[in-house]
Structure 1
Amino acid sequence: MKRKYLITLSLFAMLIVTSFTTIVEPKHDGVVVLELFTSQGCSSCPSADDLLGKVSDEFENKNVFALSYHVDYWNYIGWNDPFSQKEFTQKQRSYAQKFRDNQIYTPAVVVNGKEHFVGSNRAKMYAKIKSYQQKSSTYNISLDAMENTSETIKFNYTIDGNITATNARVVLVIKERTTHVKRGENANRTLKNHNIVVAETYLTTFENKGNYAVNIPKIVNKNDELRLFFILENDSKDIVGASSLDF
């Protein structure tokens, strides 16, 4: 009888301990994803483009990821931005809806999908980078190249963390391109753009480990250096994890 009592007491104690035990998710270094909405047809955008390039170089390998999305709503002014896509304009509109803004503008930077500001504001840019770097992440993403041809890029990915209720997107960028603008607000200027998004795809299904192939669009030249980004976000478009890989 005494033996049964001791066993029952032990099981009861284990149940109490288990009930009050909190599962602590591992913490990783915070990530900062800067999404600049810009256009070669906008006279106030070159300073923001330059700042994005500076930040990208300065914070390389420090979990700061800079991307440049060229919108198409400046094309009517006379210069057709070769990197502009209507999908990127719609992407910016989706952010505006999230932020409950009535209008979109360039140059605009969205940080981790959570807030936006004028992309040429140097002081705010550095302040936001510092602030978001101090926030830890429950995700860690590793990327490894599999194969790189003139038509496709294949890579492996590994995600540490619970991917339930998250979405993954793969972004391909040209690291740098110089363009001589002939018309529009920047007529007769030579502009240098950085981390220019040329392809973006959401993964329809994904696991914690897997591989993926990206088609290289025709706008990419054989001498272009490419960079691939793997970005994880929640259903509210808040970015929760990111990693990059150079090709």
Structure 2
Amino acid sequence: MRRLAYVLVAVGVFAAAALGFQCRAGEARTSRPVGVIELFTSQGCSSCPKTDAAFAMMADRRDVIAISYHVDYWNYLGWQDTLSARENTERQYGYSRSFGSSNVFTPQVVLNGVRTAKAGGRLQHVMTDLDALARSGHAMDVPVSASLTADAMTVDIGSGAGKANVVIAYFKRSTTVTIESGENIGKTMEYRNAVAKMETVGVWDGKPMTIKLPATLGAKPGYDGCAILLQAHDADGNPGRIYGAAAL
């Protein structure tokens, strides 16, 4: 889909106490993934279904963390994306500013918070891109692990060079949508790991740390996964490099 210059308007921020989410109990599946894959997509984007399908295969891999964000700027095309949120659009624009661009587009794949995948939507090449990032000094080199019990969510972070926020992205592992109008009319799509909310729960300064959060943070059923991202931000709050990550 063509690139689009989009002017963001001020919006309110979801209150954590008002929106409960639930991660799946247990241990994080990996404490040192080879990369974080973030897909920006839309149900109303005719160029997105192939990438969405390829992304679904990446979401099943255990050596990467793959999460998706449905943006809202294509909703005017005749179909309101049922998973879209202004916050997702804002995150994509934050990356755009970090990368020195004024435009956004779908589908867009961002790797480790530092650049767009060279292959665009051709996700079969993403692992090669992640290897190249690791060789250039942008590997997932800070161990992050997490566990969730009936009493608490515990996040353990190792040592490393840098400063970052500890961000939790809550998602639904699988959502099936039949699109009834717009550019993808008639398609039934399965969307994987669609982010519904993000929340910053701590700040990491390069030293090992443990964060304990109340289990009641995940009180609302329906959102059954979360990714913990150790992510730097610039002075303006735009997202940057992801040093480490884990998923529940």
Report if aligned partners of 1:31, 1:241 keep a CA contact under 8 Å in 2: no
In structure 1, what is the equivalent of residue 182 of structure 2? Answer: 184
Residue 197 (structure 1) shift: 0.6
Residue 228 (structure 1) shift: 1.4
Report if aligned partners of 2:169, 2:198 keep a CA contact under 8 Å in 1: yes
Q: Structure 2 vs 1, CA of residues 155 and 119 (structure 1 numbering), >3 Å: closer, same or farther?
A: farther
For residues 99-138 of structure 1, what are the structure 2 equivalents within 5 Å?
99-117=99-117, 119-132=120-133, 136-138=139-141
Partners of 1:88 and 1:178 in 2: CA distance: 19
Q: Structure 2 vs 1, CA of residues 33 and 208 (structure 1 numbering), >3 Å: closer, same or farther?
A: same
The one-letter code matched in structure 2 to 1:85 is A
The share of aligned pairs that are identical, in percent, is: 28
Task: Determine which of 128, 153, 156 is the counterpart of 1:155.
Answer: 153
Deviations 1:29-74 (A, max 9, x none): 56300110000111111111111111222x31x2x11010000001
Structure with the larger RCO, 1 or 2 (CA within 8 Å, 6+ apart): 2
Decide which structure has greater helix share: 1
Report if aligned partners of 2:167, 2:202 keep a CA contact under 8 Å in 1: no
Structure 1 gap ranges (5+): 1-27, 149-153
Tell me which stretches of 4 or more aligned residues in structure 1 moved more than 6 Å. none
Q: Structure 2 vs 1, CA of residues 166 and 232 (structure 1 numbering), >3 Å: closer, same or farther?
A: same
The one-letter code matched in structure 2 to 1:46 is P
| RMSD of aligned alpha carbons | 2.4
Secondary structure of the residue that 2:149 maps to in structure 1?
A: strand
Q: Structure 2 vs 1, CA of residues 33 and 234 (structure 1 numbering), >3 Å: closer, same or farther?
A: same
Partners of 2:247 and 2:161 in 1: CA distance: 18
The one-letter code matched in structure 2 to 1:126 is M
Deviations 1:153-209 (A, max 9, x none): x41111111486211100111111110110111111101111111111112557811
Partners of 1:140 and 1:211 in 2: CA distance: 17
Output the TM-score relative to the length of structure 1.
0.75
Query: Which structure has the larger Rg?
Result: 1
Report if aligned partners of 2:169, 2:228 keep a CA contact under 8 Å in 1: yes
Give the total of aligned pairs: 205
Partners of 1:72 and 1:54 in 2: CA distance: 24
For residues 23-62 of structure 1, what are the structure 2 equivalents within 5 Å?
29=32, 31-57=34-60, 59-60=61-62, 62=63
Q: Structure 2 vs 1, CA of residues 165 and 122 (structure 1 numbering), >3 Å: closer, same or farther?
A: closer
Q: Structure 2 vs 1, CA of residues 104 and 133 (structure 1 numbering), >3 Å: closer, same or farther?
A: same
The one-letter code matched in structure 2 to 1:89 is T
Residue 122 (structure 1) shift: 3.2
